[in-house]
Amino acid sequence: MSLLPRFSNAARTGCIMIATAIALIGSGIGLAPASAMQIQRVVSPGGIEAWLVEEHAIPLVTLNFAFPGGSAQDPAGKEGLANLMTTLFDEGADDLASAAFQEKLEDNAVRMSFSDSRDVITGQLSTLGETRDIAFDLLRKALTRPRFDAEAVERMRRQAVAALRRSARDPEEIAADTFARISFPGHPYGRLTGGTEATLTAITPADLKAQHQRMFVRDGLKISVVGAIDAKTLATELDRIFGALPAKGRLEPVADTVPRTGLREAVTLPIPQTIIRFGLPGIKREDPDFIAAFVMNHILGGGSFSSWLYEEVREKRGLSYSVYSALGPLDHAGMFIGGAATRADRAKESLDLIRAQIRRMAEVGPSADELAKAKAFITGSYALRFDTSDKIAGQLLAIQMDDLGIDYIERRNGLVDKVGLEDIRRVAKRLLTGEPTVVTVGPASGG
């Protein structure tokens, strides 16, 4: 039996073409290096702005977009609303019920996806040039006239509940949820982004429609486009896709906050390993110290095989397969976070080593050679963020959301090169001198 029973021959050809196009782009064929990319600021007649990298070597168009809000806008008692909403935009819109909408996506080899985070709802559309008009029309319908039919809502709700039940047995998910809850008590960042079975059950189609009307507006909308479309055509299409959205929304204010420190919570779970999560207050993306903090963290725990944490915890002692730290800049809080998975009987040893390396960075800092190697790697690997159309569109969208400027790609490596040892030591003392909050999940409490 055919694996694609609903596809016409044209649809199968379209799927093969889009897969081939993606494969070619993934190999770098037809893409200019990041330093040579021309980013155009396109403004539609209706005032909608997008950043465009025009590339006709491969007949594919990728469009990314972001709406402010995210799960932090979920009303109390309706947690999981934003997450559930993102699963429903391709489950029927305007004159197309769920099955018809899905069939039209498949028959025209259109990829459409949506996701939510704490501060934003994002989406992506990828289409071949020859089916661009159909794809853009489907996106217009999904964004401006989602149906939220009762049958589709119930079906996606069941899937969300099933995902929650799986997460309730996943030690990584348990650690992340527990860490957020104790770090941000009473704040939207401390709530479960996927909700609970009780809150998901409480969500109605009317709730979804109201939330959509509040959040899906032109104010704050960011758009990036990469591929076979010119600026004049895109300007017209922006109004066609997004122009019917309301100009302004009604987002609830979210207070700035600082994650709590020095807390400890152990969750007992009968698994072979202990999962460790730790964190301290960090900095937001707009902070002048962010680049220095990024370089500092690369040396400490963000540099994969070259980091202090990797060297001390895994390489020298074999305590953990992976160990890491990272900056977690949110709209209303900055975080320095990290984690590891280790044998339960050696969890305390692992955690003590992690704490020791954090103290070492705060009190001593790296050598000049370590800083030079870190900067060389960070600047040299930057081009890898732009070797596919999906990555380019994602980077352009992130730069817009962080308000870094359309010339940021040209300036970024220069900002890294300017970081000196004193910058590293200053930001390390600023961020790493407190006692971290620690969560462990496993058969023993660890640390």
Are residues 227 and 298 located together in one domain of the fold? no
Q: Report, as an integer, the average pLDDT of 244-269.
A: 96
* SS3 assignment for 407-421: CHHHHHHHHHHCCCH
Q: Report, as an integer, the average pLDDT of 42-47.
A: 98
Enter the tokens of residue 342. 């280790």
Q: How many domains does the chain have?
A: 2
Are residues 128 and 178 located together in one domain of the fold? yes
Q: Model confidence at 293, in pLDDT bands (50, 70, 90)?
A: very high
Are residues 268 and 227 located together in one domain of the fold? no
Taking alpha carbons only, the member of 221, 220, 224 closest to residue 396 is: 224
* Domain region containing 315: 264-442
Q: Report, as an integer, the average pLDDT of 254-262.
A: 98
389 inside domain = yes
Q: Count Cα neighbours of 36 within 13 Å in the Cβ-side half-sphere.
A: 6
CA distances from 238 to 48, 62, 65, 219 (A): 7, 13, 11, 14
Are residues 286 and 351 located together in one domain of the fold? yes
Strand order in the sheet with 60-68: 40-43, 49-54, 222-227, 60-68, 120-128, 111-116
Q: Which of 190, 208, 242 is the last residue of a domain?
A: 242
Residue 323: give its domain's CATH number. 3.30.830.10
Are residues 116 and 39 located together in one domain of the fold? yes
- pTM equals 0.91
Report the chain's mean pLDDT, rounded to a whole number: 92
Question: Per-residue pLDDT tens for 86-125?
Answer: 999 999 999 999 999 999 999 999 999 999 999 999 999 9
Question: Per-residue pLDDT tens for 117-163?
Answer: 999 999 999 999 999 999 999 999 999 999 999 999 999 999 999 99
CA distance 441 to 323: 15
